[in-house]
Amino acid sequence: MKLATWNVNSLTVRLPQVLDWLQHPTEALASAPDVLVLQETKTTDDKFPHQAFTDAGYHAQWFGQKTYNGVALLSRTPATDVVRNIPGFEDDMARVIAATVDGVRVIGAYFPNGQAPESDKFVYKMRWLEALQAWVHEQLKQYPQLVLMGDFNITVDDRDVWDPVALAGTIHCTDEERAHFQQLIELGLHDAYRLFEQPEKTYSWWDYREFAFRRNRGLRIDHILISDALKSQVQSCIIDKAPRKNERPSDHAPVIVTLDNTTTHSSPSS
């Protein structure tokens, strides 16, 4: 089972690239994912291009809004028990979509940016992170096989930052944000990317400005966390930089995890 996350920065603009990626997998992707969660669709639900995904062989669940935010979950097989946003947490932004696919609980999330430490948006980010953690804690009890993935807007450590000295303490790199990330890990989750040896200076986001991609000045802020119950099944986790080289690319690259759980539902019971 292959799962992926991609912040597309407007699905209206990026739909052709997403469809192309699904239907003509890049070398890194190798084969089409079974699940893809999208962030920053920036489109209202009435305008979500569900037919295009149906035609591409995917079931779609979506939760959007005008101008900002917006998330979606695409799956080869039908998604069940769909949840939009964090239950019990009042939020006027569309940031979370969760569903069960082939026995795996998938949570796709667009974490708040936070703008700057001590800003109102940072306070909101911290509140949101606390609510997420409490909810994921409950979800894990109900669904031990769980994947939490999306645009976290948090670097895990200095390896995820192109210039950790210059960017120390700035948004995405603060101790508070990283402490929240570690609290998620302590629920029984693993940063799938770091379960494997990875090349140095690998990022998932590069600023559009100053030729940041060409100079590899980026951050790793898009993550896939997998639960204890899935850890032994993780085969690989990679970032696919190829779509970032497209014309009019998203500023984020997709992240992909492959699980060897294909026998979960088909193994004989002997």
Partner DNA sequence: ATGCCTCAGCTCCTGAGA
Contacting positions for DNA (CB under 7 A): 7, 9-10, 12-13, 40, 42, 66-68, 112-113, 115, 121, 151, 153, 171-172, 205, 207-210, 219, 221, 248, 251-252
Q: Which residues are catalytic?
A: 110, 151
Q: CB of residue 109 vs DNA: minimum separation in angstroms? A: 12
Nearer to DNA, 170 or 262 (CB): 170
Nearer to DNA, 1 or 224 (CB): 224
Give the bridge partners for 84, in sequence order: 97
CB neighbours of residue 182 within 10 Å: 11
Nearer to DNA, 108 or 112 (CB): 112
Task: List Cα–Cα distances, 17 to 6, 58, 209, 220, in angstroms.
Answer: 11, 15, 21, 21
Name 145's Cβ contacts closer than 8 Å, sequence gap at least 6. Answer: 103, 104, 105, 227, 229, 230, 261
Nearer to DNA, 58 or 205 (CB): 205
Q: CB of residue 205 vs DNA: minimum separation in angstroms? A: 4
Q: CB of residue 227 vs DNA: minimum separation in angstroms? A: 25
Distance, CA of 237 to CA of 193 (rounded, Å): 5
Q: CB of residue 29 vs DNA: minimum separation in angstroms? A: 21
Distance, CA of 221 to CA of 54 (rounded, Å): 29
